[in-house]
């Protein structure tokens, strides 16, 4: 179906009018002056909860209603926690008794379907293979969220097995959840495996969400869906009982609508964990307060390096990054205005060599094959389909019609089981070291040292790719969107989404050395507060239930 730019513009304007109407009705109610759930911040939510204007139960009901209004089309949420209201009542009672566990007390958050929870929900990486399989405890990330008083509202859809199955599987597709699409134009490709988490956060299906990253799996969807994403240093957040792709590269991070809200969520999940040895590399005795980093002046005196040859990382430049070039160049003036020293024209010397090498892909295939059992399935207390190893999974998917085989093949697993080197082999570590030196040592580290940089500034998708290989952190913030008259560009065969279209969001990334999240958040916050671009880019589709609607349904209203 073709939709004209004028029709799309009319829809966007209409949605803004609807939002304005909802806000007007909300303000008419006594004691309930709130932003729309499309944009509301944590501090606004906590102010309302603490004042008794609404409860956590009200929040759960509002977010569940909003999900029901759009999820059949966007397919961002895979399942809702059936115990969410019960948990909310308990947390409301604690609040009434004067006990608040943290700034996140009583706040609903969605988590990606590869983050294990010891409750009534499944954890499947988007596959029927692990449906009904249960862990004996929460993942460390889920446990920390609960300790902070978070309501884990549900699980979000994702690219099946974090995108490591087949080149034919579209981004955002899983056998269990179907095809996630973004909310900013018809058929909007959500870009990356944390797609459901990004889409859900972008239109307020929860306050925020948790995603994971191996190769731009969190940063990419955040950039394409007009939100903030923080991909932490590998080891800042635990991966215990997170279905692995690569323990060398995997990272768990927050996805939210503002830098400060993402920082609140990072505060809750960061820190050492005896069950993940990578966290032993954390260099702090006491973690920084990432929320405190959200203060004025974060770019003043900072040296920001601008990399210009990032398109060399791929055979064909990413279309959204091409669209963002003018905005990217204009944003350099914002950095300078805010007191940063901009060092333009930095060159990473080995990007073309990386693009032509198969070694990075082979290393990830090896990791998945060897880590699936070692770091996840061996911990399962029940496993009705008997899927423990990649060989088990390979057979299950090929024999189960619900998995979409053979239309979506198993190319990556075929290679992992046949030619990818063993993790403990000299060839594996030779390949890994080679790729890390190309991007990490000769790229990020060399540029940071040569130019005495505080951060590297790149279009988000490429910042995510660089950071994923080097293991370093990146914060992505909204930068803009494509013009309303931009043409639709369809994805590859079998992909029913549009990789480009009118009103397509894009972001920019602040990348730094390992464990520099505090500094990156300071810089990203300063940029966000100056530009406030997210507010200028409105979704094409959004839910309509607001807190006022839930409050009006209360008995006695």
- Integer Cα distance of 367 and 372 in angstroms: 8
Which two tokens mark 97?
């008794």
Which two tokens mark 351?
């990007």
* Catalytic-labelled residue, pool 193, 202, 251, 514: 193
Which two tokens mark 190?
């959500």
- Integer Cα distance of 60 and 545 in angstroms: 12
Which two tokens mark 462?
């490429």
3-state secondary structure of 404: coil
Torsion angles phi and psi, residue 381, rounded to 5? -90, -30
Distances (CA, A) of 514 to 212, 233, 234, 447, 495: 17, 6, 8, 14, 36
Pairing of strands 251-256, 178-179: unpaired
Query: Could you confirm whether 112 is annotated as catalytic?
Result: yes
Prior bond of 192 cis (ω within 30°): no
Distances (CA, A) of 113 to 199, 379, 390, 458: 14, 17, 18, 29
- Integer Cα distance of 59 and 134 in angstroms: 28
Query: Residues near 323 by Cβ (< 8 Å), separated by ≥ 6?
Result: 482, 486, 500, 504, 506
* Catalytic-labelled residue, pool 36, 112, 202, 302: 112
CB atoms under 10 Å from CB of 551, counted, come to 19
CB atoms under 10 Å from CB of 170, counted, come to 25
- Integer Cα distance of 522 and 260 in angstroms: 10
Distances (CA, A) of 40 to 65, 152, 485, 498: 16, 18, 29, 29
Residue 498, CB-side half-sphere exposure with 13 Å CA sphere? 20
* Catalytic-labelled residue, pool 127, 217, 324, 470: 217
Query: Could you confirm whether 352 is annotated as catalytic?
Result: no
Give the torsion through C-alpha atoms of 329, 536, 196, 351, to 10 deg: 0
By the 8 A CB rule, do 88 and 57 touch?
yes
What is the maximal distance between C-alpha atoms in the chain?
71
Residue 126 gets which letter from DSSP? Answer: T
Q: What is the CA angle 195-35-85, rounded to 5? A: 65
- Integer Cα distance of 149 and 106 in angstroms: 6
- Integer Cα distance of 219 and 225 in angstroms: 10
Q: Catalytic positions, please?
A: 112, 193, 217
């Amino acid at each position: 179906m073709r939709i004209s730019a004028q029709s799309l513009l009319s829809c966007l304007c209409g949605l803004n009018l609807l939002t304005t109407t909802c806000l007007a009705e909300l303000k008419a109610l006594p004691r309930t002056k709130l932003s729309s759930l499309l944009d509301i911040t944590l501090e606004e939510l906590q102010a309302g909860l603490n004042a008794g204007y609404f409860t956590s139960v009200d929040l759960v009901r509002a977010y569940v209603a909003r999900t029901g209004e759009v999820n059949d089309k966007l397919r961002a949420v895979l399942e809702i926690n059936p115990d969410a209201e019960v948990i909310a009542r308990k947390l409301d009672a604690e609040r009434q008794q004067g006990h608040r566990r943290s700034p996140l007390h009583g706040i609903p958050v969605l988590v990606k379907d590869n983050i294990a929870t010891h409750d009534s929900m499944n954890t499947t990486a988007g596959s029927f293979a692990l449906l009904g399989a249960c862990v004996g405890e929460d993942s460390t990330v889920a446990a920390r969220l609960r300790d902070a008083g978070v309501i884990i509202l549900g699980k979000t859809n994702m690219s099946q097995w974090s995108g490591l199955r087949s080149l034919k599987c579209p981004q955002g597709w899983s056998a269990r959840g179907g095809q996630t699409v973004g909310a900013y134009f018809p058929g909007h490709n959500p870009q990356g495996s944390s797609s459901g988490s990004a889409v859900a956060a972008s239109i307020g299906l929860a306050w925020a969400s948790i995603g994971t990253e191996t190769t731009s799996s969190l940063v990419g969807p955040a950039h394409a869906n007009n939100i903030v994403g923080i991909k932490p240093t590998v080891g800042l957040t635990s991966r215990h009982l997170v279905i692995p792709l690569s323990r060398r590269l995997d990272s768990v991070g927050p996805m939210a609508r503002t830098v400060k809200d993402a920082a609140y969520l990072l505060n809750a999940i960061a820190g050492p964990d005896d069950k993940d040895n990578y966290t032993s590399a954390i260099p702090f005795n006491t973690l920084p307060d990432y929320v405190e980093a959200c203060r004025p002046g974060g770019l003043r005196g900072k040296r920001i390096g601008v990399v210009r040859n990032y398109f060399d990382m791929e055979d064909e430049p990413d279309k959204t990054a091409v669209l963002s070039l003018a905005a990217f160049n204009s944003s350099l003036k914002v950095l300078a205005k805010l007191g940063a020293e901009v060092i333009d024209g930095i060159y990473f010397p080995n990007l073309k060599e990386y693009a032509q090498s198969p070694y990075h892909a082979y290393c990830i295939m090896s990791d998945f094959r060897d880590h699936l059992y070692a770091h996840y399935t061996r911990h399962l207390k029940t496993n009705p389909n008997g899927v423990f190893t990649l060989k088990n999974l390979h057979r299950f998917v090929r024999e189960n019609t619900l998995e979409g085989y053979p239309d979506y093949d198993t190319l990556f697993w075929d290679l992992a089981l046949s030619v990818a080197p063993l993790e403990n082999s000299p060839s594996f570590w030779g390949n890994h070291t080679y790729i890390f030196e190309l991007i990490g040592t000769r790229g990020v580290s060399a540029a940071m040292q040569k130019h005495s940089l505080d951060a590297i500034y790149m279009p988000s998708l490429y910042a995510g790719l660089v950071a994923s290989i080097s293991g370093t952190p990146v914060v992505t913030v909204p930068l803009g969107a494509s013009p309303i008259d931009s043409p639709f560009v369809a994805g590859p065969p079998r992909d029913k989404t549009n990789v480009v279209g009118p009103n397509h969001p894009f972001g920019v990334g602040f990348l730094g050395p390992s464990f520099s999240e505090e500094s990156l958040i300071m810089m990203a916050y300063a940029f966000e507060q100056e530009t406030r671009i997210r507010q200028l880019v409105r979704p094409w589709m959004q839910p309509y239930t607001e807190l006022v609607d839930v409050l009006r349904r209360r008995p006695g209203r």
